[in-house]
Amino acid sequence: MTNLVWPLMQNNITRSDLDRMIDYLQQDNPKLTHGPLVKKFEEQWSKWLGVKHSLMLNSGSSANDLTLMALRELKGPGEIIVPPLTWVSDISSVLRSGFEPVFVDINPYSLAIDTEKVLSAITSRTRAVFITHILGYNGLTDELLAGLKSKGILLIEDVCESHGATHNGKKVGSFGWASNFSFYYAHHMTTIEGGIISTDDDELYDILRMLRSHGMVRESLEESTKNRYIQAYPDLNPDFIFAYASHNMRPTELNGLLGLEQLVRLDSNNIARTRNFNHFLSILDPKIFQTNFKVEGSSNYAFTLILREPDLILRDRVEVCLREAGIEFRRGLSGGGNQLRQPYLRGKKNLPPPESMPVTDHIHHYAWYIGNYPELDEEQINWLGSVLKSI
């Protein structure tokens, strides 16, 4: 894309963030591998989110992997209900952990997995529902939460794109058995690369601690767990007992430091993004673009642009118009659209055809997102609206 004037995202690592990192590195012998700064960030994040435990990792994708690995250890094999509109690592973590993904279509207003379809897809083999809160929208419903509770089905929340979104005034990511966040460069806040798992479940947290560090028992906080393994394996050095087949997903102290710096600004930045997003929706032509999203509680770091009706000619005009104006975009929203169209799923057994997910498939072909960052003002958003009106 030439003459880019509206990038997909601006760098939200500030000069003060960089100066703080420089000051830290100029100490004598600063600790770099994960340590007290990571722990402090985990504690601050848990307090912000309203949960008991949080475990920082090297990416949001690692958070997905560890959550599904822990679920397999605790619940055994089975099925995981997933949306076709999500990021690849949600589905790949299900596959790598030996679960079978069961796809159900999304709700067109929240862009998250459809409650009625989820509840009707639950069987005796269902181990969890893996919901993705897309691009800042709250994907939860009271009916979903009540239905899963009554059926004894665990909820896993992917909140990688929705930091600060709420349901009934409570932050999403605090409802599920586990919730996964990403701190990638383009998200609401960043630690360059990084992620976190949050939970209120003590047993899950302890297993996650071990899984994060090669499956080592010494990472457990439970003395009873350590003693059980030491007694069962007297021929092993207690410092090197590996309870689970895992690998290293630890973050660094610099990631923790950045997390602490960025978390301070997260709420105020989200307020600015929400103001921008609501103004953007107000200037769209509702006859051409969808504007009736479920916006209550949303925290959008992107502007979602969806054609109301399938129209390939109009779709191409929108893209030409955006490119010529220097506006960067991504078609298909999160993950490039319908995951059932991706090559990594070709050849997998018992998967539905992509066309059987009509809401997701419409988004795959006729939807985009555009960057929404706190520095935008009303005049810039009005200009974007004028570009879209010119199609």
Q: Which CATH superfamily is domain 266-389 in?
A: Aspartate Aminotransferase, domain 1 (3.90.1150.10)
Q: What is the mean pLDDT of residues 78-102?
A: 97
Residues of the chain with CATH 3.40.640.10: 15-258
- The b/e string for 126-161 (b: 16+ C-beta within 10 A; e otherwise) is bbbbbbbbbbbbbbbbeebbebbeeeebbbbbbbbb
pLDDT of residue 249: 96
SS3 call for 55: strand
Place 1 in a pLDDT band, splitting at 50, 70 and 90: very low
Q: What is the mean pLDDT of residues 362-390?
A: 96
Burial (CB count within 10 angstroms: exposed 0-12, middle 13-18, buried 19+), residue 39: middle
Are 118 and 150 a contacting pair, CB within 8 Å?
no
- Per-residue pLDDT of 169-215, as tens digits, reads 999 999 999 999 999 988 899 999 999 999 999 999 999 999 999 99
pLDDT of residue 9: 86
Are 286 and 349 a contacting pair, CB within 8 Å?
no
- Per-residue pLDDT of 212-242, as tens digits, reads 999 999 999 999 999 999 999 999 999 999 9
- Per-residue pLDDT of 113-132, as tens digits, reads 999 999 999 999 999 999 99
> Chain-wide mean pLDDT for the chain?
96
pLDDT of residue 78: 98
Percent of the chain with pLDDT over 90: 96
Q: What is the mean pLDDT of residues 322-328?
A: 96
CATH assignment, 15-258 = 3.40.640.10
pLDDT of residue 185: 85
Residues of the chain with CATH 3.90.1150.10: 266-389
Please state the length of the chain. 391
Pairing of strands 178-182, 195-199: antiparallel
Check whether 61 has a pLDDT greater than 70. yes
Check whether 2 has a pLDDT greater than 80. no
Phi-psi region of 181 (alpha: psi -120 to 50; beta: other; left: phi over 0): beta
The model's pTM is 0.96
Are 132 and 85 a contacting pair, CB within 8 Å?
yes
Pairing of strands 126-132, 79-82: parallel
Check whether 253 has a pLDDT greater than 60. yes
- The separation between CA 44 and the C-alpha centre of its own chain, rounded to angstroms, equals 19
Are 107 and 113 a contacting pair, CB within 8 Å?
yes
Q: What is the mean pLDDT of residues 99-107?
A: 98
- Per-residue pLDDT of 159-170, as tens digits, reads 999 999 999 999
Place 142 in a pLDDT band, splitting at 50, 70 and 90: very high
